[in-house]
């Protein structure tokens, strides 16, 4: 299951000085997890946490990256049943199990077999038709994998492929947040590939962290759809409007979201989903699941889950763009 790339822009005032009113600001940016990251830290003392940031990304990659052939998850996918997974893998696995159940299987990390086959993963795409989809669906289903007492992954078939990319990016942000929390840092904003966690506020300015969400219908120049205040919350987005591939032979567009129920790429009138949650792994996973669901199913699940706030941009039956916001999401929109 591949995440959409709805980039969330951090709206920050450029400061002339890193110190004001006894607060110090430090910024960190770079490349990690196949994308980019930006982290802003504001504290009452100068500090440098670059080495700790690098360490978090390193251990996440070693455990959960399907793009690294020697990572634990890659070794498991290649048939190594001796791998004893670390606590991070265990946490992500258990969270994925819970969200898989809550979404009636629409969030499914084993859909990676089909994601790769359709050409959206790290492996070479193959020619797909209904017969090939049916042959691969037998390896899809998170009920086909489990953890034993020794924390080894047990698969019902060797060809079951696990891909946590739709939750691991959010989880990495949560781990970065935990690291900053352990250092007693009261104010920070973490962004990795468009997903965010915010704590405290922009203490130098005495204002909330403010972030902007891209307009999914703007294909060329970037345009902000809405601004929101983000305080002590996590945010993740998914969309199928920018990440797609065109079949060279037919010219058909295939969006990146693969429906784990049917095995086919999802054609949906849902343009983009943004989720607010207590942690970014949860927001990450649900944003992905809602892209694979029909709108009515997504609306019902959001209504039943009191821990989530949602902003959904969709096209109605007349082709007009509409917006759905939960009350909690409306409350944080900058007017």
Token pair of 332 as six digits:
């944080």
Count of residues in the chain: 335
pLDDT attached to residue 3: 46
Report helix, strand or coil for 179.
helix
Domain count, the chain: 1
DSSP 120: -
Are 101 and 142 within 8 A, CB to CB? no
Report helix, strand or coil for 222.
coil
Give a yes or no: residue 212 inside a domain: yes
Q: In three state form, how does the secondary structure of 86-116 look?
A: CHHHHHHHHHHHHHHHHCCCCCCHHHHHHHH
pLDDT at 219 over 90: no
Give a yes or no: residue 1 inside a domain: no
pLDDT attached to residue 269: 80
pLDDT at 270 over 80: yes
Give a yes or no: residue 63 inside a domain: yes
pLDDT attached to residue 17: 40
Q: pLDDT for 222-246, tens place per residue?
A: 788 999 999 999 999 988 655 545 5
- Among the residue ranges 92-96, 119-123, 158-162, 223-227, the one predicted with the least confidence is 119-123
Residue 7 half-sphere exposure, CB side, CA atoms within 13 Å? 16
Q: Are strands 35-43 and 23-32 parallel, antiparallel or unpaired?
A: antiparallel
Give a yes or no: residue 318 inside a domain: yes
Across the beta sheet with 233-239, the strand order is 19-20, 23-32, 35-43, 187-192, 195-199, 233-239, 270-277, 309-315, 321-325
Domain of 105 in residue numbering reads as: 8-330
Are 33 and 180 within 8 A, CB to CB? no
Are 267 and 241 within 8 A, CB to CB? no
Residue 152 half-sphere exposure, CB side, CA atoms within 13 Å? 8
Report helix, strand or coil for 35.
strand
Give a yes or no: residue 219 inside a domain: yes
pLDDT attached to residue 335: 86
- Local confidence band at 220 (pLDDT 50, 70, 90 cut-offs): low
Give a yes or no: residue 98 inside a domain: yes
pLDDT attached to residue 24: 93
Q: pLDDT for 68-78, tens place per residue?
A: 999 999 999 99
Give a yes or no: residue 174 inside a domain: yes
Cα–Cα dist 195/8, whole Å: 7
**pLDDT mean over 27-42:** 94
| Torsion over CA: 92, 166, 288, 10 (sign) | positive
DSSP 202: B
Token pair of 314 as six digits:
């969709």
Give a yes or no: residue 335 inside a domain: no
Nearest CA to 89 among 39, 138, 150? 150
CATH assignment at residue 21: 3.10.520.10
């Amino acid at each position: 299951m591949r995440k959409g790339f709805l980039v969330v822009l951090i709206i920050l005032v450029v400061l002339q000085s890193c110190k004001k009113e006894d607060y110090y600001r430090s910024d960190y940016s770079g490349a990690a997890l196949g994308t980019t990251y930006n982290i802003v830290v504001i504290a009452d003392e100068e500090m440098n946490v670059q080495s700790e940031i690098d360490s978090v990304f390193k251990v996440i990659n070693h455990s959960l990256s399907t793009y690294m052939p020697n990572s634990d998850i890659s070794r498991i996918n290649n048939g190594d049943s001796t791998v004893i997974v670390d606590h991070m893998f265990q946490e992500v696995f258990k969270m994925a199990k819970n969200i898989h159940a809550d979404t009636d299987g629409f969030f499914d990390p084993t859909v990676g077999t089909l994601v790769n086959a359709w050409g959206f993963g790290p492996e070479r795409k193959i020619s797909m038709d209904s017969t090939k989809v049916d042959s691969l669906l037998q390896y899809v289903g998170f009920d086909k994998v489990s953890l034993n007492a020794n924390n080894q992954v047990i698969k019902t078939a060797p060809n079951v492929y696990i891909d946590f990319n739709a939750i691991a990016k959010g989880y990495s942000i949560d781990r970065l947040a935990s690291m900053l929390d352990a250092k007693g840092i009261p104010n920070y904003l973490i962004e990795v590939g468009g997903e965010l966690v915010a704590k405290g506020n922009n203490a130098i300015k005495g204002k909330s962290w403010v972030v902007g969400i891209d307009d999914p219908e703007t294909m060329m120049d970037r345009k902000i759809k809405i601004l929101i205040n983000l305080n002590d919350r996590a945010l993740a987005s998914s969309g199928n409007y920018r990440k797609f591939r065109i079949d060279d032979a037919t010219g058909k567009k295939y969006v990146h979201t693969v429906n784990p129920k049917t095995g086919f790429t999802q054609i949906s009138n849902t343009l983009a989903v943004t989720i607010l949650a207590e942690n970014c792994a949860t927001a990450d996973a649900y944003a992905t699941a809602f892209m694979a669901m029909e709108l009515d199913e997504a609306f019902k699940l959001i209504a039943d889950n009191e821990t989530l706030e949602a902003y959904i941009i969709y096209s109605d039956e007349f082709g007009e763009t509409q917006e759905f916001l939960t009350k909690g999401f409306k409350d944080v929109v900058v007017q």
